[in-house]
Each structure stands twice: as C-alpha cells, then as structure tokens.
Structure 1
Amino acid sequence: MTIPVLDGVDTVLCEDGIITAIGRAEDLRALIDDSDVVLDAVGSTVAPGLIDSHCHVVLGDYTPRQKTVDFLASYVHGGITSVVSPGEIHAPGRPHSAIGVKALAIAAKTCFDNFRPGGMRVHAGAVVLEPTLTREDFADLQRAGVHLAKFGFGLYKDPADGVDQVRWAQEHGITVMCHSGGASIPGSQPITPDHLMKLAPDVCGHVNGGPTALSVDGVDAIMDRTDMALQLVQAGNLMSSIRIIRRALDSGQFHRIVIGSDTPTGTGVMPLGVMKTVAELSSLAGLDPALVWAGATGNNARTWGLPSGFLREGAVADIVVMDAPWGSTADTALGALAVGDIPGISAVITDGTVRALKSRNTPRAARLASANPPQAHLDVGH
C-alpha cells in the first residue's frame, strides 16, 4: 500500500479557508511574500488535522457525562480539527418520541453550524434511531440538512427490529453509524454481529469495543461479509484494534478503517485520545504512522463526506504542525509515533486560520513553529 507522504514538498498555501497550492517554497515565493500570515514549520511535520469520528457532543462546549466545559476547545490542542457526533445521547432527559428526536438532531446540527469551539468544525445532529420514526420523518430530517444517524440507543425490544429506520435513513442520504458490542449506557442493548449483518449500517461503530469487544469470529464475519466502515476507538479494546487493523491491511481493506476516540464517556475527556490511538496502533502493530494517521483523517473524510482530512488543493485548510517531543528517542513526529511517543504540536490551523501555538496538551515540540506577524495572543501552552 502506498504510504501517504508528500515528497519534495515544503509549502502549503491557503486562501479563504481552502488549500490553494502545495509545492516548494522556491517555486511559490511570490505567493508566500504576498501572504497575510506566514507560519514557519522550521522543518517539522505538517499533516491534515485529525478528525475524531466518534465524539460525544451535546450542546455547547460542555459534556454532561463528565461535567466538563471547554472540552472541545481543548481537543483542538490535541490536533483534532473536526469531530463527528454519534448522536447527542448524553443529553439529560433525551427524548424518544419522533418529534423529540428530530427536534434534538436539528437543534444540535443548527447550533454547531454556527459555533466553532476552539475553531474546530463539529458535525453534530446525528438522529438517534427510534421505532417511532417513519419514512416521512427522515424526509423532514433530510430537508433540515441532517446527514448523520446513530443506531443502538433507541427503545427497540430487539435491535434487529431497527432495519426499517436504518434503510429509511440511508434512502434519505443519512450516514448511519451503529453501536456494536456490549451495552455502554443504562437502557441500551448489546449489538451482536448477527444484528449488524441484518441492520447493514454504513459504519460499524467501535468494532474494537465500546467498551466491550465483539468476538474474533464475529469481527471476521463483519469484515468478510459486509462493506461497512470499521471504526477503531480509544475507549475500546486495544488488543482487538491491533488485530483488526493488521487484518484489514493484510486483506486490502485499510480504506474501511476509521478512527475516533469515543469520548467523553466513562473513559473520560481525552484531548489526546485520537493522537494516542495513532501512536498505539503505529508502535504496537508495527505500522507506518503516516498510514495510521490517514485512518484518522482521509478515511474519515471519505466515509462521512467531510471537506477536510487531506493536504491537497481544494481541501479545507485544517492543518497540524508537529515534531518529536523534547526527550524522545526519535527526531521527527512520525518517528515519535513509531516508538509510541505523542508528538509535540506547535500549531493548529483550521479554515486557514492559526488557532493554537504551543499546544497546552501535548509535550513540547523539539522544533517550534513561528508566525509572521507574531500571533502573541496564541503564544500559550507547553
């Protein structure tokens, strides 16, 4: 498999929030000199911002599950520039009626369309599938712009009874993520491989466990008999994750691997949750870190149809600048990930705007990016 690293490239140009050119500084000098802000990465690593494909948002930058404020802004300091909601299931008193679940999904989507905590983009408003929802309800949701759904927390006597709602959602352009494995919150039910085969969602949520993993035979059946995306999360079973990602690579199915944190949950608030998963899978599974990083960026973007996740012309300019941390045995960010170290982030950019310098959550980067003109208001952290 081709490792997604751009050779012979040292410059990324952004305008109006979009990447407009990638190449060498010597070829782009006139455009660089004409830029409003120039960020010097001093030879360190530039990568697409991480996408957390399983982040439990509710409303605002607050998590009722952990009673923590500003957690999303803190995730930006962990290199996460976008998150995907698996449904606002932690909302106190969450409704189950058709009108209630539609209202919650539409409200969450609309609020986060207008709210960018820490500069990140929140893809929210995943409708939680319930037996009360009809085909017409999904037409309503589609008209309101809702494009996400989650199965696994509705009031179904048997999870297999949710086939109609999953199909109606998909018919209306809604990407369906399904819980898998053991029950994770009171009132929910285990979702078995047989349920998943029948439901046929677009994404098998936390196939490595959320937090309890599926059986080896069950995972293999999902991989061999379906084409759903396979989500690996920090709040799951690490042994299962390593086995799944190795098997996906061996069978030419790495494009199905998507990475998330599945936090905040009982596991806690984890600004470095996605970065930690990339480090664990790179080091313990012996995989190229750039490839694993793609599982948390481009693969997520393709699966959910997101505008970021790539370093290429036309993509949204969501970018992370990072390096080996002080004291690491490695001398680059990718080398650090390969030995299991968390890289030091020295800049986070979303929509072409510098949002953070000197991450307050990662170790200090050995080489620190600098901005011209200086961005003194961002010079915090480390």
Structure 2
Amino acid sequence: MTGSIAVVGAGVVLSGDHTAPVVDGADTVVAKDGLITAVGRAGDLAAEVAAAEVVVEARGTTVAPGLIDSHCHVVLGDYTPRQKTVDFLASYVHGGITSVVSPGEIHAQGRPHDATGVKALAIAARSCFRNFRPGGMTVHAGSVVLEPSLTEPDFAELAAAGVHLAKFGFGLYADPADGYDQVKWAQRHGITVMCHSGGASIPGSKPITPEHLLHLGPDVCGHLNGGPTSLPGSGVDRIIEETAMAVQLVQAGNLRSAVRILRKCDAEGRFDRVVLGSDTPTGTGVMPLGVLKTVAELSSWSGIDPARVWAAATGNNARTWGLPAGFVRVGAAADLVVMDAPWGSTADDAVGALAIGDIPGITAVVTGGELRALTSRNTPRAARLAEVVPAMPHLAAAGH
C-alpha cells in the first residue's frame, strides 16, 4: 500500500490501550504506506499534514483504532454458507470492523476431517485472504480445526505454511478431553489455539465444560459468555481465576454473563485478558454492527469507561493474536474509525453515546492507510460528518 493520509480535527483520539485509553492532547493522526507515522497535535504536525495526499477533517469527533472482530466465521471469499449471504465482510467495514480473526472455517460445505483435507483448507483459506481485502478489511483466516487425525508433524507443516490460528471444539473427538495432544502440538509450533466453551452450537458439536478447558489449556477461551449457551457462573469463575487464558465475549452469546465477566475481570485486574468478537455469521445472523453493539452494551451495562471497552475490541485482540492493528500509535497498521454521537442522541460525542448504549454514527473508515467509507450505510447518521480533501463523492454516496 502506498500514499499518505492525515486525519485532523479530532475531539478525542482513542488509543486501543486499556491502561491509557485516550491519547492525551492528540487531535491528528498521520499515516503513510499503510502504517501510522505520527500521532499528536496539529500544530506540531503541520508539515506532515501538508504533505498528505488525503486529509480527513474529523470536525471535533472521535478517532479510534478500527474494531477487530476476534470471532468471525469466514470461509472462502466474501460469502457465508451459514446465512447464504454475499459481501457480508465488506458490510462489516461499515460497522467499524477493519479486521477479523477466523475461529476455523467450520462452515465450509463438506468440511473435511482427514488430516490432508484439514491442512489444505486452513492453508487455502489463509492464502486466499492474503490476496483479498473485502471492503478493505484484513481477514486473518486459515484457522486449522483440530481433529484426531492430526499428528505433530502436521502442525510443523502448518506452521511452515504460515498458519498461526487453530480452533478446538468441532473435531471428531469421542470426548473433548481427547484433544489434549493436538492442542499442545499446535501451541508447541507457535499456533494460537481458541477453544469453544459452553453448550453445543451446531448439530454434531459437543458441549465443552470448565473441566475440559482446564485440561486442554488453550490460549483463548472462545465466547466464555456463551456461543450461544454460557457456562455456569462457577465454571466461568474457575476459568478466570485458575488460568491465564484470554476470555472472549461475543455478541452472539449471553449478555448477562458478558457483563458479569467484564465486571469481574475489571475488578480483579484481569481486564487485559478480555477480548471481544461477534461470533457471526452463525444462527444469530449476519451482524455488521455486532462488535460495535457489543461495545455499547458492555459499556452501558457495566459502567466501565467505553474507551477501555473499545480497547478490549482492538488492542487486547491485537496483543492476544499478535496482529499489526488495534492501536493508534506510530508503527501500527493505519486502520481507523471516525465516529460521533448519532443524530438524536442525548450524548455529545461517540464515547458518551456508547456510555448510554447508543450506537455511534460512523462517518469515515480508513484501512491500510486508505479511506474506504464515508457516512456508514449501517450505523445511524453521525451528528457531525467528516469532510475529505480531495472530495470523494463516490464514497459518500456508498453510505446511502
């Protein structure tokens, strides 16, 4: 990616870091060749702004790192077999989601279970999405679904091919506890393992209990608040208290459980382990606003600063999976969202809107340092709309 862009005139810049969720005093973000090159005050960055090929005037609104959906069911191409919908990923960009993480291409029709087919699917998915950015988003695909047929040399082969994601919970195991070897082999070869938790989500899968999770020891406890059925509170507490797993909260889960988990992690100094996703498309449907809605719900019901909850959907995800985006800081991928309180909200800005449970209006999305969308076609209209120089009427029209 080439070119330069500057986003100026921000009222607030969110950092993506839950320990310091607002970039103090910043109103300008500059990027070149797909990476953020400067964050600070306009007066200090005048030369960089003047040199930018594209300038987005945020008009006092909020600039934030683009959302990362850490549980998005991609397969191949911008199509979901589960909901028979095309271009859903491009639509997710209009919901502020600038990258997604695959939890295994489990919805692939005729999904294989033999070792050769399992490896081929993961490698193909990763390779295809490296060359395909629907709506400009980055898709971290190719999550190998763990199966009894996989041996340790298979994981060495997968890692050599660049596969760094794995999902446990949908393989042909008589007992989920039998997947211990595959989980450990994957981790030994540097592959991050996410494990299903809670009740069965589709026919043919099995419930995974706290005992299973404690035995298997994955890196990420997928949808701890339910996917869609949550574990009992006592089991949830064991995962939080007795392990170091990242704990994932999703839109397609149990909201009451999610709020409880978030509050507990925050109160106990474990907020860095909380990661957010949508767990869509599934039976819950295609949800372009799935992650944004989750941030609004968790912020408004938990009472936790929305800027910190936003960080759980950005920086926390980036650290957990080793992703290049998720932060507004020099060197991070230039994935940005410009947003404001929606028309009609009693809040004055996007952070205030999230605090009362309102969905902010997205007025610009930047991915890889390129302006991809203006006036989101999925969120409510923002009270203040970004302006861009040079004018890009085709992007503004795409929001209608």
Superposition TM-score tier, normalisation by shorter sequence: over 0.9
Whole-Å separation in 2 of the counterparts to 1:372 and 1:271: 27
Whole-Å separation in 1 of the counterparts to 2:45 and 2:310: 27
1:252 is the counterpart of 2:256: no
Whole-Å separation in 2 of the counterparts to 1:31 and 1:198: 53
Q: Which moved more, 1:23-32 or 1:69-78?
A: 23-32
- Structure 2 matches for 1:210-359, cutoff 5 A? 210-359=227-376
Does the CA-based 8 Å contact 1:234-1:273 persist in structure 2?
A: yes
1:36 is the counterpart of 2:53: yes
Give the aligned partner of residue 122 of structure 1. Answer: 139
Q: Which amino acid aligns with 1:282?
A: S
- Structure 2 matches for 1:76-155, cutoff 5 A? 76-155=93-172
Question: Which one of 190, 195, 201 corresponds to residue 184 of structure 1?
Answer: 201
- Unmatched segments (≥5 aa) in structure 2: 1-17
Whole-Å separation in 1 of the counterparts to 2:130 and 2:187: 22
TM-score by length of 1: 0.99
Whole-Å separation in 2 of the counterparts to 1:313 and 1:254: 24
1:1-52 CA-partner distances (Å, limit 9, x unpaired):
8441112110000000000001111111111111101110011000000000
1:74 is the counterpart of 2:91: yes
Question: Which one of 220, 232, 237 corresponds to residue 203 of structure 1?
Answer: 220
Q: State the 1:379 CA deviation.
A: 1.1
Indicate how the Cα distance of structure 1 residues 2 and 127 shifts in structure 2: closer, same or farther if over 3 A, else same. closer
Does the CA-based 8 Å contact 1:319-1:348 persist in structure 2?
A: yes
Question: Which one of 9, 15, 22 corresponds to residue 39 of structure 2?
Answer: 22
Q: Which amino acid aligns with 2:168?
A: F
Q: Which amino acid aligns with 1:9?
A: A
The 3-state SS of whatever aligns with 1:133 is coil
Q: Which amino acid aligns with 2:43?
A: E
Whole-Å separation in 2 of the counterparts to 1:252 and 1:240: 18
Give the aligned partner of residue 161 of structure 1. Answer: 178
Whole-Å separation in 1 of the counterparts to 2:344 and 2:304: 23
Q: Which amino acid aligns with 2:295?
A: V
Q: Which amino acid aligns with 1:209?
A: G
Whole-Å separation in 1 of the counterparts to 2:390 and 2:327: 26
Q: State the 1:350 CA deviation.
A: 0.3
Does the CA-based 8 Å contact 1:3-1:290 persist in structure 2?
A: no
Does the CA-based 8 Å contact 1:81-1:350 persist in structure 2?
A: yes
Does the CA-based 8 Å contact 1:86-1:126 persist in structure 2?
A: yes
Does the CA-based 8 Å contact 1:15-1:352 persist in structure 2?
A: yes
1:48 is the counterpart of 2:73: no
1:369 is the counterpart of 2:378: no
- After superposing on structure 2, the runs of 4+ consecutive aligned residues of structure 1 that deviate more than 3 Å are none
Whole-Å separation in 1 of the counterparts to 2:244 and 2:307: 24
Q: Which amino acid aligns with 1:314?
A: G
Whole-Å separation in 2 of the counterparts to 1:31 and 1:266: 47
Whole-Å separation in 1 of the counterparts to 2:24 and 2:181: 48
1:343-382 CA-partner distances (Å, limit 9, x unpaired):
0000000011000000000000011011100112211225
Give the aligned partner of residue 14 of structure 2. Answer: none
Whole-Å separation in 1 of the counterparts to 2:269 and 2:53: 43
The 3-state SS of whatever aligns with 2:44 is coil
- Unmatched segments (≥5 aa) in structure 1: none
Does the CA-based 8 Å contact 1:3-1:288 persist in structure 2?
A: no
Whole-Å separation in 2 of the counterparts to 1:183 and 1:57: 19
1:84-137 CA-partner distances (Å, limit 9, x unpaired):
000000001100000000000000000000000000000000000000000000
Question: Which one of 22, 30, 33 corresponds to residue 5 of structure 1?
Answer: 22
Q: State the 1:179 CA deviation.
A: 0.2
Does the CA-based 8 Å contact 1:126-1:149 persist in structure 2?
A: yes
Q: State the 1:287 CA deviation.
A: 1.0
Does the CA-based 8 Å contact 1:209-1:236 persist in structure 2?
A: yes
Does the CA-based 8 Å contact 1:184-1:211 persist in structure 2?
A: yes
1:60 is the counterpart of 2:77: yes
Whole-Å separation in 2 of the counterparts to 1:35 and 1:46: 18
Whole-Å separation in 2 of the counterparts to 1:227 and 1:33: 46
Give the aligned partner of residue 3 of structure 2. Answer: none
1:170-229 CA-partner distances (Å, limit 9, x unpaired):
011100000000000111000000000000000000000000000100000011110000
The 3-state SS of whatever aligns with 1:342 is coil
The 3-state SS of whatever aligns with 2:329 is coil
Whole-Å separation in 2 of the counterparts to 1:321 and 1:306: 21
Whole-Å separation in 2 of the counterparts to 1:81 and 1:43: 22
Whole-Å separation in 1 of the counterparts to 2:324 and 2:19: 22
Whole-Å separation in 1 of the counterparts to 2:317 and 2:392: 31
Whole-Å separation in 2 of the counterparts to 1:73 and 1:222: 35
The 3-state SS of whatever aligns with 2:193 is strand
